[in-house]
Structure 1
Amino acid sequence: MAVTKVGRVVLTVTDLDEAVRHYTETMGLSVTTRRDGEAYLRLPGDQDHHNLVLQQSDRASLASFGIKMSDPGDLEELELVAGRAGADVRRVSGGEHPGLGEAVVFRLPSEHEVWAYHDIEHIGWAEGMENPDPVPEDATAGTVHAQRIDHVAICAPDVGDLAKFLTEVLDFDSSEILIGPDGRPGATWMYCTNTMHDIAVVPGPGAGLHHVSFAADSRAAVINGIDTLRHRGVPTMDFGLTRHGIAGVTTTYFHDPSGIRNELFFGPYPTPGVPGQVPPVEWEMAEFARGAFYYENEIDMAFMTEIT
């Protein structure tokens, strides 16, 4: 059984039209399907039917996130393994949701709902699948040019408990760990692919979302993205461009119209893609300010405590 990526994120938003405008006109996604109360959007760096689903609601939240499996048989195996681990598991038939095949749905110990799937409609690159022009059309001109979903950062009342589930049930591994005063994980950055984290786990309420991260294709693209955000009147964190000591990435954070935190970043280091190959980097709590914000070497408490 293998997870190939965190491939889709479902967000509830308080104003669907405003959210669609943000993710298309500011972020650079495109709408593939829209129906009553929902919009399905894709990123230019992914060939699947959609990567982001926006649902109208009276509150903003992470409704679910999806993991793409490498083989159709992985769904049956996951159904058994997750059930044995105590998760409530159900099946969703293919065709019930636009572009999406059969899915196994379960909840993590942190109360987050996860959709595991293999089949999803293949749309291909926006530039086409035959003799494509490597220079894309200007559909994303004036946006921050987000390329793909890189990771989700989710909250857990017990970071170690969730990390154990992700490791034992889904074959994730930790690339970096913040060690709490009690010697247990205070936060952890976990991977299932060849990037340093596909899921970050931070302390917080069950089912909580800290941020959704979108990958840029260069450090310069992050800088240009900040210019675009400021030009469009989208507030970034006070210092705009920064760098994490953890992962070493260049990054900026901002919010969509519903208050959901977005990240645009570049530069995660590669990981083996399979668990147990290399030990994780460990951070002491006394060094966390440098790990979180390398340039500033201080903690922005609003950044740590504002959760969707």
Structure 2
Amino acid sequence: MNFDIIRTGRAVLHVTDLDKSRAFYDALGFIETESDEENIFFRGLEEHNHHSLWLKKKPEAAVEIISYKVRSEEDLEKLESFFTKQGSEVKWLEKGSQKALGKSLRVQDLSGLPVEFYAEMETVDRMLQRYDLYKGAKVQRIDHFNCMVPDVEKAYNYYIDELGFACSEYTAGEEEKIWAAWLHRKPSVHDVAFMNGPGPRLHHVGFWLNDPMSLINGCDVLASMGYAPNIERGPGRHGLSNAFFLYLRDPDGHRIELYNGDYLTSDPDFKPVRWDLDDPMRQTFWGHEAPDSWFDEASEVLDVHTGKKIDLKEPTLKKRKPTFVI
């Protein structure tokens, strides 16, 4: 691995009604960087890049891309060489072809997920100390992706051995087969998680909050605006990662997690935490059990070359009690 992936960067989601989407994400406390009749660009209060969430108006909801920031354009060239040698077809998007973004590289990863890498994005004013703009859950920054894939162990090995990610926590079952894994590049619990299930699909995008009260305030604001039915799960605390959480569904069903309270993983002698599949503490440290929709539903993803939805594959591990991933 001779390229430097920094962190989770942005998600590009297709939505069917920009006005409804704007009202929902504004209620959560996102900053709208700019918009037009077809697009809205959102960021968190502490983010200095142009956006971390791009909503595109389309006839059908889907996930266009999940993106990672790399250190330099040289890393993009190295990634192109890496994927090409493996037989993967890459797609270049030149600077100026996407709003605010420099040159980027797109590819379908090993699991079929549409993944993008970029080094440059326009910078904007950081709103961290604009406390007069704080509202809703006061969303600070993008934190991670959670992806449902048919073979978690295959994705786990590939992202660690080939792309240079590290594991913070994982769930193992019989014969030590990996059912779920939390992998990171930045020094936190995860930039991406993989969970066992029909895929490839995007389960959720996680956004970081300052503190648990921001999450509670977000619930109050959402309920007062009629969005209580959009709260799918939580608030509660995960056993895995120790995070305080809330899961929401936006007007098109895309799942958003509001997230706070994990820990540092930067020490070179850090050892991944193993959870047994049958350990109830892995699911919820406290809080209500997850509804069936949380295990069964996720956003479908697009082919980076054709723009069509990727066909789902059934998981290789035998279905049993659902695995919890954050």
TM-score for the superposition, normalised by structure 2 = 0.85
Is the Cα contact below 8 Å between 1:7 and 1:66 reproduced in 2? yes
The whole-number CA distance in structure 1 between the counterparts of 2:126 and 2:296 is 38
Distance in 2, matches of 1:168 and 1:86, equals: 17
Rounded Cα–Cα distance in structure 2 between residues aligned with 1:157 and 1:303: 17
| TM superposition shift of 1:254 | 1.4
1:6 maps to which residue? 8
The answer on 1:241 being equivalent to 2:235 is yes
Indicate the residue corresponding to 1:15 in structure 2: 17
Moved more, 290-299 or 12-21: 290-299
Relative to 1, partners in 2 of residues 1:259 and 1:238: Cα closer, same or farther, differing over 3 Å? closer
Structure-2 residue corresponding to 1:41: 42
Cα separation, partners in 2 of 1:14 and 1:201, compared to 1, 3 Å: same
Taking the TM superposition and a 5 Å limit, the aligned residue runs for 1:18-167 are 18-24=20-26, 26-126=27-127, 134=129, 136-141=130-135, 143-167=136-160
| Contact preservation (8 Å) 1:29, 1:43 | yes
**Which residue number corresponds to residue 304 of structure 2?**
none
Q: Which runs of 5+ in 2 are unaligned?
A: 300-326
> Helix, strand or coil: the match of 1:20?
helix
Q: Which moved more, 1:151-160 or 1:180-189?
A: 180-189
Partner SS for 1:150: strand
Give, in angstroms, the shift of residue 296 of structure 1: 4.2
Tell me, yes or no, if the aligned pair for 2:204 and 2:256 is still in contact at 8 Å.
yes
**Does the residue aligned with 1:110 lie in a helix, a strand or coil?**
coil
Decide which of 258, 266, 270 is 1:278's aligned counterpart.
270
2:295 corresponding residue in structure 1: 304
Aligned-partner Cα distance in 2 for 1:229–1:305 = 24
Deviation at 1:223, TM superposition (A): 2.0
Q: Separation in 2 of the partners of 1:239 and 1:207?
A: 22
Do 1:31 and 1:42's aligned partners in 2 also have CA atoms closer than 8 Å? yes
In structure 2, relative to structure 1, the CA distance for the partners of 1:85 and 1:167 (3 Å cut) is farther
Q: For residue 247 of structure 1, what is the amino acid of its counterpart?
A: S
* TM-fit CA distance, 1:194: 0.8
Count of residues in correspondence between the two structures: 296
Q: 1:204 to 1:14 in 2, by over 3 A?
A: farther
Q: Do structure 1's residue 172 and structure 2's residue 165 form an aligned pair?
A: yes
Root mean square deviation, CA, Å: 2.0
The Cα of 1:238 is off from its aligned counterpart by 6.6
Q: Is the 8 A contact 1:12 1:57 kept in 2?
A: yes
Q: In structure 2, what is the Cα distance between the partners aligned to 1:144 and 1:296? A: 19
Query: Any gaps of 5 or more consecutive residues in structure 1?
Result: 128-133
- 2:202 aligns with 209
Could you say if the C-alpha distance between residues 270 and 224 of structure 1 is closer, same or farther in structure 2, counting changes exceeding 3 Å? same
Alpha-carbon distance between aligned partners in 2 of 1:146 and 1:298, rounded to the nearest angstrom: 25
SS in 1 for 2:176: coil
Question: How far off is 1:155 after superposition?
Answer: 1.1
Q: 1:266 aligns with which of 252, 260, 266?
A: 260
Which residue number corresponds to residue 185 of structure 2? 192
SS at structure 1 position matched to 2:34: strand
How far residue 239 of structure 1 moved from its aligned partner, in angstroms, is 6.4
Between 295-304 and 45-54, report the one with greater CA deviation. Answer: 295-304
Deviations 1:207-260 (A, max 9, x none): 311111111101221222222222222236576320100000111111111111
Quote how far apart the aligned CAs of 1:137 are.
4.2
